[in-house]
C-alpha cells in the first residue's frame, strides 16, 4: 500500500527549521567520487530517496561506502570496480542518475546505462548530453533502451551547448577534467549545484575556471585525488519552507541557507508582498495575508528557479488579482495544477507553458495526487491552508527530494501525518 499524507489545514506555523543539503548538488558530487580511486568524504548529504538510489548504484559496481555520521559518508571507488554489474533498477527510478554518465565515461571509457528516470514533468531527453559528449570524441549507440558509450578517443575541445542544461554541463565537467588538452564549455549553466561540483573537483585537483558564468574553462589533469567536501544547502527546500511561513499565521526562521542563492526568488516574494527578513545564513518569514498578483517566469540561474515555480503557485492563489506563471522549459510542469483546481484554485492553463492564476480564492481539502517532487510540495503547501482534510497520494514522489517533510512541519505546528490507507 502506498503512503499518503493527511493534512488538516488552518494551523499556525512557528519555529525554526534547518535546511538539509541540496539533493541536486549531492547527486553530482556522488558521481564525481568515481573520478578518483582515493577516498572522498562528503558531508551534509540529504537523506532522501534519490540520493539513496545513487548510493545503491555506486555500491553495485563495487564502490565502498561507509557512513561516518548521519549525513557524512566516506566513498572509495578503488581499482576493483566492475561497471558491468551496475544495478539498473535505481538508475531507471531517478533523474539524478544521468550525472553518472560523465564520470563513468572518464573512469571506464566503455559502459552502458539505461535511460534515467525522474519526475513526470515533460519530455526530458538527454540529447544535449549526447551531442556534447560526442563532440569530445565519445561514441554512443542505443540498443534495447540502453545507451552504450565508448570514450576511447576523448580529448579536450570547445563545446557550445544548445541549451543552458545543468546536468549536461555537469556531465561535461566530469568527463573533461582528466582529458588531455583544454575544454571550453560555452552556454554552460551557472546554477549553485554546478558551482558546488566545481569546488569539489578543484579540491580533487581539477583545473577549472569560470564557475558561476556561462563559459567554463577546464585544463585537463592526469589524475584526481581524494578530498572532503560539504554539500551546499538546498535552496529549493529553503524556498518551500519560506513559502509555508508566508501562507500560515505565525513566523518561521529558515536556517542553514545561502540567501544569495535565492536572490531572485526573494525579490519576487517581496514584490508579491511576503514579509521576510534576510540574514547572513537565514530568512525569517512572517504570515503575509495581503499578497499581490505578479508575473513569474522561470529562467536559467541567476533567474527564477524552475523548481520554485510550483512552490510559488499556492502563494499566488492567495494574492489579489490576476497572476501569470510561465515555465518555458517543461511542457508538463502544470499537470498538478489540475489538483489545485480541484481544491478550489481559479487557474486557467493557457498553453503547456503558461497559466493565469486568479486570486484570492479559498482552498478546500480533498484527495489529490503528487505528480513529482516539487508538485508534491506545492500540494502540501495548499493543504496547510485548505479548509478541512487534504489527502495527498503518492508521497513517495515528495520523499525523493524532501527529507521527512511531514515531521519537520509537525515541529512547526502543522497537523500533518503519514499513513498507509
Together in a domain, 239 and 177: no
Three-state secondary-structure class, residue 255: strand
Are 298 and 372 in the same domain?
yes
Of 182, 212, 230, which residue is a domain's last?
230
Report the distance separating Cα 85 and Cα 61, nearest Å: 5
- Among residues 416, 19, 23, 415, the alpha carbon closest in space to that of 253 is found at 19
283 and 387 assigned to the same domain: yes
DSSP of 202-220:
HHTT-EEE-TTSSEEEEE-
Output the CA torsion sign for 268, 244, 396, 263: positive
Q: Can you give the CATH number for the domain in which 113 is found?
A: 3.65.10.10
Q: 270 is written with which cell numbers?
A: 517581496
Q: How many domains does the chain have?
A: 2
Q: Are residues 96 and 138 in the same domain?
A: yes
Same domain, 344 and 220: no
The per-residue pLDDT string of the chain (421 residues; one tens digit each, 9 = 90 and over) reads 589 999 999 999 999 999 999 999 999 999 999 999 999 999 999 999 999 999 999 999 999 999 999 999 999 999 999 999 999 999 988 888 999 999 999 999 999 999 886 444 333 468 899 999 999 999 999 888 899 999 888 999 999 999 999 999 999 999 999 999 999 999 999 999 999 999 999 999 999 999 999 999 999 999 999 999 999 999 999 999 999 999 999 999 999 999 999 999 999 999 999 999 999 999 999 999 999 999 999 999 999 999 999 999 999 999 999 999 999 876 666 878 989 999 999 999 999 899 999 999 999 999 999 988 989 999 999 999 999 999 999 999 999 999 999 999 999 999 999 998 7
Pairing mode of beta strands 415-420, 3-8: antiparallel
* Cα three-residue angle 69-283-377, rounded to 5 degrees: 70
Identify whether the C-beta of residue 381 lies closer than 8 Å to the C-beta of residue 311.
yes
Q: Which domain holds residue 69?
A: 23-230
pTM: 0.95
Q: ∠ CA 9-10-11 to the nearest 5 degrees?
A: 100
CB atoms within 10 A of CB 158: 12
CA pair distance 71, 53, nearest whole angstrom: 15
> Is the domain of 257 the same as that of 331?
yes
**Are 185 and 321 within one domain?**
no
Amino acid at each position: 500500500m502506498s503512503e499518503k499524507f493527511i493534512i488538516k489545514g488552518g494551523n499556525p506555523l512557528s519555529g525554526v527549521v534547518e535546511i538539509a543539503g541540496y539533493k541536486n548538488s549531492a547527486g553530482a558530487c556522488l558521481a564525481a567520487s568515481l573520478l578518483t580511486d582515493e577516498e572522498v568524504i562528503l558531508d551534509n548529504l540529504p537523506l532522501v530517496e534519490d540520493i539513496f538510489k545513487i548510493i545503491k548504484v555506486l555500491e553495485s559496481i563495487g564502490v565502498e561506502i561507509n557512513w561516518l555520521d548521519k549525513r557524512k559518508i566516506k566513498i572509495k571507488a578503488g581499482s576493483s570496480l566492475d561497471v558491468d554489474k551496475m544495478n539498473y533498477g535505481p538508475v531507471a527510478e531517478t533523474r539524478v542518475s544521468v550525472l553518472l554518465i560523465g564520470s563513468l565515461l572518464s573512469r571506464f571509457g566503455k559502459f552502458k546505462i539505461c535511460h534515467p528516470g525522474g519526475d513526470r514533468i515533460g519530455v526530458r531527453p538527454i540529447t544535449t548530453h549526447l551531442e556534447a559528449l560526442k563532440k569530445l570524441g565519445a561514441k554512443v549507440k542505443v540498443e534495447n533502451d540502453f545507451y552504450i558509450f565508448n570514450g576511447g578517443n576523448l580529448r579536450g575541445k570547445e563545446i557550445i551547448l544548445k541549451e543552458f542544461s545543468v546536468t549536461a554541463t555537469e556531465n561535461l565537467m566530469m568527463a573533461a577534467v582528466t582529458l588531455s588538452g583544454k575544454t571550453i564549455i560555452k552556454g554552460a549553466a551557472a546554477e549553485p549545484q554546478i558551482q558546488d561540483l566545481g569546488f569539489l573537483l578543484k579540491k580533487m585537483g581539477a583545473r577549472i575556471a569560470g564557475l558561476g558564468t556561462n563559459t567554463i574553462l577546464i585544463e585537463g589533469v592526469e589524475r584526481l585525488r581524494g578530498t572532503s567536501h560539504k554539500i551546499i544547502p538546498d535552496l529549493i527546500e529553503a524556498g518551500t519552507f519560506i513559502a509555508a511561513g508566508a501562507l500560515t499565521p505565525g513566523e518561521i526562521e529558515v536556517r542553514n541557507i545561502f540567501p544569495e542563492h535565492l536572490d531572485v526568488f526573494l525579490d519576487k516574494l517581496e514584490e508579491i508582498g511576503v514579509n521576510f527578513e534576510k540574514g547572513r545564513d537565514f530568512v525569517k518569514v512572517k504570515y503575509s495575508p495581503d499578497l499581490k498578483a505578479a508575473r513569474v517566469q522561470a529562467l536559467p540561474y541567476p533567474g527564477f528557479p524552475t523548481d520554485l515555480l510550483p512552490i510559488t503557485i499556492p502563494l499566488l492563489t492567495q494574492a489579489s488579482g490576476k497572476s501569470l506563471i510561465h515555465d518555458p522549459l517543461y511542457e508538463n510542469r502544470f499537470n498538478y495544477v489540475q489538483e489545485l483546481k480541484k481544491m478550489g484554485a481559479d487557474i486557467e492553463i493557457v498553453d503547456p507553458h503558461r497559466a493565469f492564476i486568479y486570486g484570492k480564492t479559498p482552498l478546500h481539502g480533498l484527495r489529490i495526487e503528487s505528480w513529482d517532487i516539487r508538485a508534491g510540495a506545492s500540494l502540501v503547501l495548499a493543504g496547510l491552508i485548505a479548509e478541512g482534510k487534504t489527502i495527498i497520494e503518492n508521497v513517495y514522489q515528495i520523499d525523493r527530494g524532501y527529507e521527512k517533510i511531514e515531521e519537520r512541519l509537525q515541529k512547526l505546528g502543522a497537523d500533518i501525518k503519514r499513513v498507509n490507507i
